[in-house]
Amino acid sequence: VGCTLEYSEGDVEKGFEEADVVIERKFRTNRRYHMQLEPKTALCVPGPDGSITLYTTTQTIHNTRILIHQIFGIPMSKINVVKLPIGGSFGSSIQINPLVPITVALCLKAKKPVKITLTREEDIYDHVAYQMHFRVKAGAKKNGVITAGELENIMDIGAHQIQAYPLLGTALGWFASLYKWKNLKYVGKAVYTNKVPTCAFRGYGAPQVSWAIETVIDELAERLGIDPVDFRLMNYVGKGDIFWGQGPTVKTVIKSDGVPELLERGKELIGWHRRRPPSEKKGRFRRGIGVGRSFHTSGAGGPISGEVIDYTGAILKLNEDGTIDYITALQDHGGGTLDAHVKLIAEELGVPPHLINLVWADTQTTLYDVCTHASRGTYVGGMSAVRAARALKQKIFEYAVRVLNKVVNPEALKIKYDEELGQAVIYVEGNPDLRLTLSELATIAWQRNWGTISTSMSYRATSAPPSYTVYFVEVEVDTYTGKIRPVKVIGGADIGTVVNPEFAAGQIHGGFAQGWGMTILEDTPYDPRNGELMNRGFIVDYKIMTAQDMPSLEDFQVIFAHTYEPTGPFGAKGLGEAALNSVAAAVANAVYNAIGVRFYELPITPEKVIEALQKKGGE
């Protein structure tokens, strides 16, 4: 056993005694490989002064630098880690991967540039998702009020411990924040096994916990004779309640909540009224409709320091051509995070996004950023960018007052874009003669030795609000082959102000595709004869979902709740991980509605479907 975590509130046994219905189930999730587009790679280049420059697939350039310093004793000032675009991660590059220190060691020994790139087979031996074994017990009264909940979580962490203890706490947080348990108990244990090491995977335990809890919630609703949507609305943790964003040390008062809107709109769009009990389904092809809800935290901030480091930094600099350089260590590994930052900066300054330059920088030129994780990119990084833009705008106005002599108060100034000039213009409303471009201002400041107009901002969020997601899924089950097909999907998200609607919709589509694979296909089984991975290759052996496995675009509808998060940049919250977290629950509940069989082990493969139907009565 690597580590344990136990927590309780209230009197769980008394809560179960008060319940009219108690359900207890055991679940087992799968060990999924991240299958990010780009396998791990690292290039280390020695400098003439004993320094090294490192290029690698990482979600955190600054933490990589710190760890290399700790491993090799190289002064921090002699280590430079360059931020560069990477082909996905899904959490597999939060930690420093083994090939990074190996590359550095060889570079130091040879005093020559060294590059290592893992093959796909090597990469699958580097990291997989945590497998969780759950025991869930929940009770409720006849009126639908939940009285108690209990979760036992045994995690298979593989051969090495990477983030086991914090994940035990986060899994507790997901459990505690899904529903108002009144009385709850949690026991978490991380267990070493002779398998590939595990690490963070999109959702950080929320997809696993949500699948198990949402399955039991559906069962409770059925036993009580209450509509599953209504039962969720009666008991979910929402506005004004406490959300445990990253476990018991990171708590947030919920200030924005789109769950009722998502459930009601989704219910209408999927055609919930068409839903019939499994007993009424006959024939080879049987359809079912299911719902699943979950959430994810927006970062790991809080009013007190807590156990999680979560701050970031932004630098903005006005150029003589009127553009603005944006410099940040926060990594974008395919989710469009920095594109959102550009839009937020542009909105605050009052200029079009094309005037903002994204500078691919390094640890020598950026302020510290902890990591791209916990869906914090837009919420935390975006707020840092907005605050930096606000400070830059104030400096711009202060400099402009020195040029526009008739203006005595910077608050009288505004910025807008002039299409004819192709420049952003500082102006006084109602006084067309009092104006100058950003380019002119930056040039004057340079010529008059006033200094560069720039600003830097370090920022730590004081809350970590939940981004809610709800999926309504209609599936079709072929009872002859056991194959499950998605027929229609309604994917809903409450992310506050939607900064980039197209990218946000893309996250929902991608989250469903990944969740669909998690539910019915993906796993890393071991050969019992020799202990080797049985699917350690690429597409041939480890299959993932493709476009042909998805519903048509006409049958996949994305909706966003109309909410505003007062602590976020222009009211925005995160999304990336939440887009995956409730998929498995919705699909599994839809499969039950189609064939009347509950599955407590992922993935739900055709073989398992056929076997379950045969046990049910040879249907």
**Predicted local distance difference test score (pLDDT) of residue 524:** 92
**Predicted local distance difference test score (pLDDT) of residue 301:** 87
Residue 4 scores a pLDDT above 60: yes
* pLDDT tens per residue, range 389-426: 999 999 999 999 999 988 778 888 999 999 999 999 99
Class at the top of the CATH hierarchy for domain 41-124: alpha beta
**Predicted local distance difference test score (pLDDT) of residue 537:** 67
Element (H, E) at 485: strand 484-494
Element (H, E) at 443: helix 438-447
Provide the whole-model pTM: 0.94
Question: What is the rounded average pLDDT of the residues 525-554?
Answer: 87
**What average pLDDT is seen over the chain?**
94
Residue 545, classed as helix, strand or coil, is coil
- pLDDT band of 307, cuts 50, 70, 90: low
Residue 253 scores a pLDDT above 90: yes
Residue 618 scores a pLDDT above 60: no
Report which of 28, 214, 134 is spatially closest to residue 591, judged by C-alpha positions: 214
Residue 76 scores a pLDDT above 70: yes
- pLDDT band of 543, cuts 50, 70, 90: confident
Question: What is the rounded average pLDDT of the residues 335-341?
Answer: 93
What's the CATH number for 3-33+128-301+463-617?
3.30.365.10
| Strand ranges in 240-374 using DSSP code E only, listed in sequence order | 242-244, 251-253, 285-297, 311-318, 324-327, 356-359
- pLDDT band of 613, cuts 50, 70, 90: very high
The answer to whether the CB of 581 falls within 8 A of the CB of 206 is yes
Q: Which amino acid is at 474?
A: E
Residue 7: strand pairing partners: 186
Of all residues in the chain, the percent with pLDDT exceeding 70 is: 99
Q: How far apart are CA 433 and CA 283, in angstroms?
A: 78
- pLDDT band of 538, cuts 50, 70, 90: low
Helix (H) and strand (E) counts for the chain? 15, 22
Residue 619 scores a pLDDT above 60: no
Residue 580 scores a pLDDT above 60: yes
Residue 509 scores a pLDDT above 80: yes
Question: Which residues make up the CATH 3.30.365.10 domain(s) of the chain?
Answer: 3-33+128-301+463-617, 41-124, 311-460
* pLDDT tens per residue, range 256-299: 999 999 999 999 999 999 999 999 999 999 999 999 999 999 99
- pLDDT band of 572, cuts 50, 70, 90: very high
- pLDDT band of 162, cuts 50, 70, 90: confident
* pLDDT tens per residue, range 432-485: 788 999 999 999 999 999 999 999 999 999 899 999 999 999 999 999 999 999
Question: What is the rounded average pLDDT of the residues 302-331?
Answer: 90
Residue 463, classed as helix, strand or coil, is coil
Which architecture, in CATH terms, is 311-460?
2-Layer Sandwich (3.30)
Question: What is the rounded average pLDDT of the residues 520-543?
Answer: 85
| Strand ranges in 259-389 using DSSP code E only, listed in sequence order | 285-297, 311-318, 324-327, 356-359
